[in-house]
Amino acid sequence: MKLNFNYDGNIACRAILQEQLEKLEINYQLLDLGQIEIVDAISEESLNALQDVLKKYGIQIINNPKAQLIQKIKDAIIEIVYDKDKFPDVTISQYLADKLNFRYGYITNVFSEYTHTSIENFIIIQKIERAKKLIIEEKLTLTEISYELNYSSVAYLSTQFKKVTGLTPSLFKRIVGKRRKLSNKE
């Protein structure tokens, strides 16, 4: 029997962190996405144990300040893409500069230096990944998806979708439908 499921990576990550921190009896407070505050001092041994257990889930503690900034940039972008209510009234560049307290020029330079891609490209990739998930869920039309992802039109969404995936959203939708039919027959 095959089971299909959907999950929110942010919720899953927070649940794993909470579970593991409580197992290790570490007093903590959850902050923004990708951040926790350790309330009491912890031993090096406890910190190492936490790092080891989180590694099993693909979660790692970031110690490098630039790597921390890059993660904060990614988290802010993902938050915007996955929560339409969080989409800023200002430009994304201004939003990131205000949220992270750095000039946007510095933010883009650090991001591209370490990730070898631009923030704009990262945003497009995240939006297309979200579009793919929404298409697979089959709850929204392409027009609704383009609106949800703050595209000016379905045509613009389709153009970016094809550039990233090599497929049009309609073709992607048909492929998903055919795969579903095949897996339901098995």
The string of pLDDT tens digits covering residues 14-51 is 888 888 888 888 888 877 666 788 888 888 888 888 88
The string of pLDDT tens digits covering residues 153-182 is 999 999 999 999 999 999 999 998 888 888
Provide the residue ranges of all domains of the chain, joining segments of one domain with +.
9-61, 64-116, 119-179
The string of pLDDT tens digits covering residues 137-155 is 888 999 999 988 989 899 9
Q: What tokens were used for 129?
A: 């990944």
Work out the percent of the chain whose per-residue pLDDT is above 70: 91
Class of domain 119-179: mainly alpha
The DSSP result for 75-137, as a single string, is HHHHHHHH-GGG--SS-HHHHHHHHHTS-HHHHHHHHHHHHSS-HHHHHHHHHHHHHHHHHHH
Q: What tokens were used for 55?
A: 């590694």
Cα–Cα dist 17/59, whole Å: 9
Q: What tokens were used for 175?
A: 């492929």
Least confident interval from 13-17, 126-130, 156-160, 182-186: 182-186
Residue 61: the pLDDT is: 80
The string of pLDDT tens digits covering residues 68-106 is 899 889 988 988 888 766 666 678 889 899 989 999 999
Q: What tokens were used for 47?
A: 């910190």
